[in-house]
Structure 1
Amino acid sequence: MPLRPVLQPFARGGLLVGSLLMLILVLVSVSSFNVFNTVINFIYLPLIGIYIWPRTDKIILSICIIFIFGLILDIVSSGPLGLWSLIFLINFAVFKPHMRLKSLVFKTAFFSWFSFLFFSSILLYFFVWFSIEIPPRLMPLIIQSIVATCLFPLVFGLRHLLKKIFIDQFLRDLV
């Protein structure tokens, strides 16, 4: 019997939380700064939003929202159009964050984040290589992965805060 998303009324506020979190992460991800003559980007931050996407029964709406935020990230980062949308959708299809059986616990989420990040980095490396026909440098990707991993607890806490603000107290554990 295939697993299906739990059909409960928790999508009401969950998609709002996921969308607000993705909007914040996409806007922050286009910023960069220099540290010791090294440019630090936050381009992997929206992947955290995909990874901790709320459980929902509205799969098509989730896919549309994720696709739109991928296009927005492509436009504001001046990258190849559709690259981040494709990476977001492949990760969403492979890891199925909307179909988790239980709500995320930080400890398990943090350690499984590494496999998600590794898979995303491989996808990004090859898609960028195929789209611009030059292999990307590995060191900036590694630095961005480390930055995203360091910011994972902050984003996880932001999601928890948004859940407290926008979702009814009795439905919070369902998202």
Structure 2
Amino acid sequence: MVSRRSVLLALVLLGAVLVGVGFATGTPEPVLTIENDDNVSYQVTAYTVEDLDAAGYLNFEVTTDDGEQRLVTYNDLVWTTSYQNVTLVDEGVNSQSFTVGPNETTTGVVDGWSHGDVTLYIVESDDDETRTWSRTVTCDSRGQDHGLRMAADSGGGGSTHCGGGFGWMIR
């Protein structure tokens, strides 16, 4: 017969192993894959913020079609496509840039992401720095895969796989 003490010891050891694996692997940030099926290069900037409200109120300096510099929020960037030179002016926001050349694929990790953060992507064409589109990803679980695709015929699109469960422990 197995004693209660042995069962309790086994459960404590199993818990310690699971916690140890969790600490050893850390909190995996989203993995971003950018596919460029177009004949121009693109600059993709990823921003991580704590929630959708904070995302909507981020401030960016932009240049309009007529050359005027203006301050806009991220909410303005979601719908307007004619801005150039999009530059975040708020401090303390995690950001990271990726460049993908014509007919190339780039994969990277979005640094600075914490559990529950919202990830924002701003895509600009590299030739004239015109904002082509923006994307907001609201997965709050670990083990995320984000995909962005640029194409001359359709503009762009994306996909998101939100992880979860215990998969984050073996990443």
TM-score normalized with structure 1 length: 0.20
Which is strand-richer, 1 or 2? 2
> Radius of gyration: which is bigger?
2
Structure in which a larger fraction of residues adopt helix: 1
